Amino acid sequence: MDAVIYIRWSSAIQSQGNSKERQLGDCRRYAAEKGWNVVDELIDDGVSAFSGANIETGKLRSFVDNVRAGIWPGGVVLLTERLDRLSRQGWDELYSWIKQVTAAGASVATVDGGRMYEPGKRIELSDIMEMIIKGELARDESSKKASRLSKSWAAKRERIGSGKEAVMTKRAPGWLRVEGEPRRFVVIEERAAVVRRIFEDTVNGIGKATIARDLNREGVKPFGRASGWHSSYIQKILRSLAVLGEFQPGKKPRDTRREAVGEAIGDYYPAIIDANLHAAATVAMAGRSRRVAGRGRSLVNLFAGLARCKACGSKMTFRGKGLKLRASGKWVQEDYLICDSYQRGRGCEVGHHFNCATWQEGILDAVLIEALQDRHFASRDEVRPLEVELAEGVRRLEAAVIKRDAVLELLVETQRPEVRTMWDKQVAVVEAYEGAVDDLRKRLVAARGAVSPEEHMRRIRAMRDKLEDEDETVRFTTRSTIMAAVHELVMTMEFSADPLGVMIETTAEETVFVTLEEHGGSSGPVVTRIAASA
């Protein structure tokens, strides 16, 4: 008889018990034992079975269509590892699907339990439920295996850290070398400095091609065997998690891309980039690809690309004069925004010099509360693992609910005491998973940066304080975050000399006018919210 193998696996949930190759191997061996002739192998990713898409529209649907079209006159058997590979929608869906398949003239067989559901034979509902429950138990077992696996990685990492064991792999990023006995990773300092400079340049708004050109001009040697720096290698470094110390175990099947296996391991390599700098570079790269491309080297002008002259529509250019000592003995920042057309003598008559520090203060007063959202304060390092954990928690909960319902059906049907015990246990399991999922959701909300309005005000003030921080990294991180946020919110920003002020229109459909007001010999910015345009 002809056989079609069906495999469902998830690349997201990597574990020993869930590999494509293992499932395929088991099915092929089983088919060989039975003397079946494997004519096709259908492989689905893990997601579709949850929604039932694989049964309704996917590869299994095509299989049923083929059976109905009579392309296997000698009969065909659909072989899968376990019944729950076919559908995660519940036993009733699966029961009716198997009845459909057998009615169409095909058989369904499982490696696990050696079951076979054949055309013309009665299919027991209780048998289907029992198989699903067994499948769930097997899955719990395999997720335990996965967690044991990650524990053994952790133990290994610890032994490496304490020098009791050599590094796991000879693969080392270009800025590290493997040295000594036992083998350890050692930072090649001059190369690490190049990597840091690449990140800092990126935060400063310099593009990958320019960075590569600068490095080549300065005669900085590339890390690998390449003849010079290329923007693709700069990109690779900027996307690398190894700079933060993370290692992603993986394997590279012949002729294909390297694929990830298991969880990334933190603190595996020596970290050479601070997490904040890494985050700032990511923000800067995202920003460049939108509208802040081409901004100046050091983010001195937060409104570059936004600020325009009201009179002629030209951009406002930044003229930096640095700190100047006033007659009053006070140091003031003498940086100005001036109409580019006026500055270059291209026709505009409005030559007012807008003091950067003063107007920046007023503009930020006007827009920052709206511009800075929770996500601007969120820690990616914290959010990402929680998202993964929540997805896994939800998956476990859904599986537990399916199992609980199946056990209940079984209980109703059999009235057996051991099934009763199983049901009580399963109800408790579902409750525990529900609690865990609730807790994860709360932690995720907190990690995503949601806080009270008072706390939001406080953290905005704290962020503004860091605009002029002494630490270059802190300053650039802050500036790029604020810059990206303001660019997202503000649609237009017009500088006008008469009346003196800055008119801002936001995507929140608000128009704001920032003016100056004299009080006690000095002038400070005042914000007037004109009207929310309907």
The contact set with Zn ion (CB under 5 A) reads 309, 311-312, 314, 339, 341, 348, 350
Give the shortest CB-336-to-Zn ion separation in angstroms. 14
Give the shortest CB-303-to-Zn ion separation in angstroms. 15
* C-alpha distances out from residue 351 to 305, 310, 346, Å: 19, 12, 12
Give the shortest CB-211-to-Zn ion separation in angstroms. 33
Q: Measure the CA–CA gap between 240 and 223, rounded to whole angstroms.
A: 15
Closest to Zn ion by CB, 344 vs 461, is 344
Closest to Zn ion by CB, 194 vs 348, is 348
Give the shortest CB-353-to-Zn ion separation in angstroms. 13
Give the shortest CB-324-to-Zn ion separation in angstroms. 25
Is 337:301 a contact under the CB 8 Å cutoff?
yes
Q: Which of 329, 422, 365 has the alpha carbon at shortest distance from 134?
A: 422
User: What separation, in Å, do the N-terminal and C-terminal C-alpha atoms of the chain show?
Assistant: 71
Is 347:312 a contact under the CB 8 Å cutoff?
yes
Give the shortest CB-319-to-Zn ion separation in angstroms. 14
Q: Which of 274, 261, 253, 245 has the alpha carbon at shortest distance from 172?
A: 245
Give the shortest CB-332-to-Zn ion separation in angstroms. 25
Is 129:410 a contact under the CB 8 Å cutoff?
yes
Q: Measure the CA–CA gap between 307 and 356, rounded to whole angstroms.
A: 12
Q: Which of 105, 109, 89 has the alpha carbon at shortest distance from 4?
A: 109
Is 335:354 a contact under the CB 8 Å cutoff?
no
Closest to Zn ion by CB, 201 vs 340, is 340
Give the shortest CB-449-to-Zn ion separation in angstroms. 39
Closest to Zn ion by CB, 18 vs 314, is 314
Closest to Zn ion by CB, 316 vs 363, is 316
Give the shortest CB-342-to-Zn ion separation in angstroms. 5
Is 14:144 a contact under the CB 8 Å cutoff?
no
Beta-bridge partners for 337: 318, 354
Q: Measure the CA–CA gap between 229 and 221, rounded to whole angstroms.
A: 8
Q: Measure the CA–CA gap between 529 and 511, rounded to whole angstroms.
A: 6
Closest to Zn ion by CB, 101 vs 502, is 502
Closest to Zn ion by CB, 183 vs 315, is 315
Give the shortest CB-307-to-Zn ion separation in angstroms. 11
Is 80:7 a contact under the CB 8 Å cutoff?
yes
Give the shortest CB-329-to-Zn ion separation in angstroms. 35
Q: Which of 83, 93, 184 has the alpha carbon at shortest distance from 134?
A: 83
Closest to Zn ion by CB, 229 vs 495, is 495
* C-alpha distances out from residue 530 to 205, 370, 497, 509, 524, Å: 34, 16, 18, 11, 19
Q: Residue 505, by phi and psi: left (phi above 0), alpha (psi -120 to 50) or beta?
A: beta
Closest to Zn ion by CB, 71 vs 500, is 500
Closest to Zn ion by CB, 1 vs 350, is 350
267-296 in b/e form (b: 16+ CB < 10 A) is ebbebbbbebbbbbbbbbbebbeeebeebe
Give the shortest CB-506-to-Zn ion separation in angstroms. 22
Residue carrying the six token digits 């099947």? 253
Closest to Zn ion by CB, 312 vs 516, is 312
Q: Which of 110, 121, 99 has the alpha carbon at shortest distance from 3?
A: 110
Closest to Zn ion by CB, 192 vs 337, is 337
DSSP-derived 3-state class of residue 491: strand
Helix 275-289 and helix 189-203: axis angle, to 10°? 40
| 179 phi/psi in degrees, rounded to 5 | -145, 155
Give the shortest CB-315-to-Zn ion separation in angstroms. 9
Is 108:94 a contact under the CB 8 Å cutoff?
no
Closest to Zn ion by CB, 15 vs 341, is 341
